[in-house]
Structure 1
Amino acid sequence: MYKNVLQAIDGIEIYPLISFSIFFLFFLGLLVYVALLDKKHVQAMSGVACSPEDESDATIGGNKQ
């Protein structure tokens, strides 16, 4: 039933091409972004979550009360 409905729509064949193009361009852009990242920044950020700082007095946003 759905196949007949979709076949009746004029220009329906362009939608899969558009969606694949958006998908491909997004991940291509993401790959370029990662390739061009500053390696020093990535190295510095890699240890942020595991830093041995005392977190008992830290609050959300870094503001101490």
Structure 2
Amino acid sequence: MRSAYKFRIYPNQKQVAELEDTLEICRNLWDTALADRKAAWEKRGETRSYPSFRTNGLISKHFPS
């Protein structure tokens, strides 16, 4: 039997700001990757996957580390 756990967090203001920044980066990366996949399909009829985003520099653009 599977069980689920719920946790409530109470972040301080600094943590809230960091969480919002992280989620914004993730949302932008997802939207960019989705737009890239859609364009590749519409223009060339090809599918894209995660490894192709890494080789195209899409991830390094959002995560310059």
Bucket of the pairwise TM-score, normalised by the shorter protein: 0.3 to 0.5
TM-score, normalization by structure 1 = 0.44
TM-score, normalization by structure 2 = 0.44
More helix by share: 2
